[in-house]
Amino acid sequence: MLKLLGSALILGAGAWLRWNTLAQQRRQRQTLRALLGALRRMAEEIRMARTALPLLLERLAGQCGPDAAVLFSGAAAALRRGEPLAPVWRTLSGELPLPLQSREVLADLGADLHGDEEAVCKAISLAVQRLEQHREDLENSRQAEEKRVTALCFSGAALLVILLI
């Protein structure tokens, strides 16, 4: 009876690990989608309304998901304090739940968010293009990745059960 209970606990832990891993991947995809939408709105606002950057960043923070909002609200607060945007943007983008490539693209964007309207819009467009490619890659590999995670979690749990029995 004790072995059966231990086996059930191990299999439950494998199921929890699978669920947790897939939830993290889902969070990455959601954050990336939110950032893409916010960056597109940012380029439109800069091009059409010529909104000041601190105000624009605060607006974007209120319109996007919680993870992306941290980036925009932190950057807006730094600009209001008079800090340079590039290092703050780099630090905040490094803390986002995104794949390394996407975080690097965002970090590089922070250095280009100054200067004239045309240069800023070009930098944002380039970042959106690269992030969109990363998003497509994540979506295309999602099903295969879910299968791998499922197989790894449950086969590892089954192996532990077999070894303990």
Query: pLDDT tens digits for 91-112?
Result: 999 999 999 999 999 999 988 8
Distance CA 27, CA 29 (A): 5
CB-based contact 88:113 (threshold 8 Å): no
Query: pLDDT tens digits for 115-138?
Result: 788 888 999 999 999 999 999 999
Region class of 114: left (phi > 0), else alpha (psi between -120 and 50), else beta: beta
Whether 54 shows a pLDDT value over 90: the answer reads no
Question: Looking at residue 117, what is its pLDDT?
Answer: 86
CB-based contact 61:96 (threshold 8 Å): no
Taking all residues of the chain, what is their mean pLDDT, rounded to a whole number? 92
Q: Which two tokens stand for residue 150?
A: 């499922």
Question: Looking at residue 128, what is its pLDDT?
Answer: 95
Nearest C-alpha neighbor of 46 from the set 135, 140, 132, 109: 109
Question: Looking at residue 42, what is its pLDDT?
Answer: 93
CA 147 → CA 7, 14, 22, 140, distances in Å? Answer: 22, 14, 10, 13
Query: pLDDT tens digits for 55-76?
Result: 999 999 999 889 999 999 999 9
Question: Looking at residue 3, what is its pLDDT?
Answer: 84
Would you kindly state where each structural domain of the chain is located, as residue ranges? 17-164
* Geometric angle at alpha carbon 66, from 19 and 40, rounded to 5°: 110
* Geometric angle at alpha carbon 137, from 113 and 60, rounded to 5°: 35
| Percent share of the chain, pLDDT over 90 | 73
Q: Span 37-54, mean pLDDT?
A: 89
